A and B are shown apart, each in its own frame.
Chain A
């Protein structure tokens, strides 16, 4: 029997469409308009065509920031996802420990981005910071204001501290929703701990992991506040990510046209990578026999 289709249901989506139009579509259209013009303020614009796009695509500064962003997002995902799964697996499933663990996990997520940056900026200082002093005392040459590797390590550890909890909470929610029957069947079959994880827990975590990876990828790819507060994009340009570069260009230099062109290219990269992630994780293999 044919499935009934009722397109009147689309009217229910209309409020969301209006809201998104005002919060996202109209600002994005304005950015597109800016990207083909030049302005010196006073709402006066001069047509520039595709000049700013050509300038952005040829810019070494843009390419370097893009590579930094991709490396940062890759490292963040490579650390936070396995660590989040491991912590979620280690958390208790019943008793008073559950509430304690959930509150501890939620705490970093409640701290505003700029406060996290300030905490780690102070924490890592070699004159007054606990981390900086301890590392200096045990003979490790650590100074995030002067050494790019130390700056990168600080920004990555800070992000892991701030956002692994999100992966943990999502994975924990996925784990507690697995019915006991699966574990009972695994016990009857004499399955090892690894087999239970590989064939029961990991497949059941697929959807929450998809959300976690998408959220963490998009968020890390658009990171601004924390590295800006800790390193200001330095030393040199070593932690200047795309968003930091964009703000420098748009607000610091008031180059609205080039900044708008860079924003559009940046937006298209985020959109394409998110779509690829989403498609690979939700659609590939789902239509094949036995594929899930």
Chain B
């Protein structure tokens, strides 16, 4: 099957494989610990670990966009900040 129309590059393939790996890891986590681990975090509403992953990924996207729009520094710093943010989301939200 010719997928050249999708214009794949290694960086985008690695990006999507990382997302896929995260989803697989979440599925395995759910298999061994079903129910989604619901809890009420600092925002006062209930979240499952799926919600927390979504908030972490969406936040990471905006951190990266903000980094690109506001600074000249390398995007790797935005990735590091996103990881710190994701840890914060999984622990507190």
Contact = CB atoms under 8 A, between A and B. Distances in A.
B41 to A, nearest CB: 11
Nearest to A55: B68
Which of B12, B15, B75 counts the most A-chain CB atoms under 10 A from its CB?
B12
Contact of B45 (A33, A45, A284): A284
A188 B15 CA distance: 63
A43 B5 contact: yes
Contacts of B62: 268, 272
A254 to B, nearest CB: 15
A96 B30 CA distance: 53
B45 to A, nearest CB: 4
Query: Chain A interface secondary structure, helix, strand, loop or mixed?
Result: helix
Interface in B74-90: 75
A36 B34 contact: no
A287 B44 contact: yes
A283 B58 contact: no
A34 B9 CA distance: 10
Nearest to B15: A32
B65 A279 contact: no
A134 B8 CA distance: 57
> On chain B, which size bracket covers the interface?
20 to 34
B45 A53 contact: no
B8 A268 contact: no
Contacts of A284: 44-45
A36 B4 CA distance: 15
A3 B62 CA distance: 37
Given A57-B65, A271-B58, A5 B34 contact: yes
A100 to B, nearest CB: 43
Interface string B56-70: 001001100100110
A27 to B, nearest CB: 9
A10 B69 CA distance: 40
A250 to B, nearest CB: 14
Interface string A61-100: 0000000000000000000000000000000000000000
Contact of A39 (B6, B7, B16, B44): B7
B6 A268 contact: no
A265 interface: yes
Contacts of A43: 4-5, 7
A272 B62 CA distance: 9
A251 interface: no
Contacts of A272: 58, 62
A32 B45 contact: no
Interface of B: 4-9, 11-12, 15-16, 30-31, 34-35, 40, 44-46, 54, 58, 61-62, 65, 68-69, 75
Given A7-B34, A37-B7, A287-B45, 13 more contacts: A3-B35, A5-B34, A26-B6, A30-B5, A30-B7, A32-B15, A37-B9, A45-B9, A54-B69, A265-B65, A268-B61, A272-B58, A284-B44
13 contacts: A5-B35, A7-B34, A29-B12, A32-B12, A33-B8, A36-B12, A43-B4, A57-B69, A58-B69, A265-B65, A268-B62, A268-B65, A284-B44
